[in-house]
Amino acid sequence: MSAITRHPPPPAVDPAVLAAFRDVSTATISDCLARMPVLAGLRPFHRGGPLVGTAFTVRVRSGDNLAIHQALEEVRPGDVIVVDGGGDTSRALVGDIMKAIAESRGVAGFVIDGAVRDTAAFAGSDFPCYARDATPRGPFKTGPGAINGPVCVGGWTVNPGDVVVGDADGVVSFPPGDAAALLDAVRAQAAREAEVLEQIRAGRYDGRYARVATG
């Protein structure tokens, strides 16, 4: 069995910050951050509902989930387990048992750059799970791996402690230090979009939104 490299856990994100982003769409967040912080290629496997939490990052060898098992011993309530599996979908990295463990420990959800299995269990649950694909083939459990270091998911770097937000469109992440300015920006963007929708319903839309909006 190969070693798992551990780094100190990041500071927890203020719960009020997380709550403020619970109803913010990932599309609006991405638009307000130069359309950049998208964990591309992932899709939701759960029944529905948003994902909001603090990134607890894990890097694994392709098709090996030993480091995820170890991460489940160290997570805090509200953490999102973000796994850099290199995009490999030949073996599932999590399934129903690991989902049950995560839920029992207050984990906010899974973000897996790889495959999952037991998809019916996720589809019947509101526990957020995003992944690249599904396969019944199980993982190795020999390592190596790393916990709470920078990871790359879908071409985007996620650092431990980043804010992670997911919805039906996918997943985005950003540093908690950006949260206050970003929240102002997304609220302004939402107000602009609401105004445009009202103009469309009233038959007064003149196309200006397409020329000036960030979205």
Mean pLDDT of the chain: 94
Phi/psi for 137 (5° steps) reads -75, 125
Q: Binding site for Mg(2+), residues? A: 118
Q: Give the annotated binding-site residues for substrate.
A: 95-98, 117
SS3 content of the chain, % helix, strand, coil (to 5): 30, 30, 40
Report how far apart, in Å, the C-alpha atoms of 50 and of each of 23, 35, 69, 87, 153 are: 8, 20, 24, 23, 19
- What are the pLDDT digits (tens) for 33-65? 988 889 999 999 999 999 999 999 999 999 999
Going by the annotation, the residues of the binding site are: 95-98, 117-118
Q: What is the pTM of this model?
A: 0.93
Q: Which fold has domain 10-207?
A: Glucose Oxidase; domain 1 (3.50.30)
pLDDT at 1 over 80: no
Q: Is the pLDDT of residue 132 over 50?
A: yes
Whether residue 15 has a cis bond before it, omega within 30° of 0: no
Q: CA–CA separation, 148 vs 7, rounded Å?
A: 5
> What are the domain boundaries of the chain?
10-207
Nearest CA among 45, 66, 36, 54 for reference residue 132: 45
Give SS3 for 111: strand
How confident is the model over 84-109, as pLDDT tens digits? 999 999 999 999 999 999 999 999 99
Determine the Cα–Cα distance for residues 43 and 132; give it in Å rounded to an integer.
Answer: 6
Q: Give pLDDT tens digits for 156-174.
A: 999 999 999 999 999 999 9
Please give the Cα distance from 22 to 167 (Å, whole number). 9
Selection from 188, 157, 190 nearest residue 172 by Cα = 157
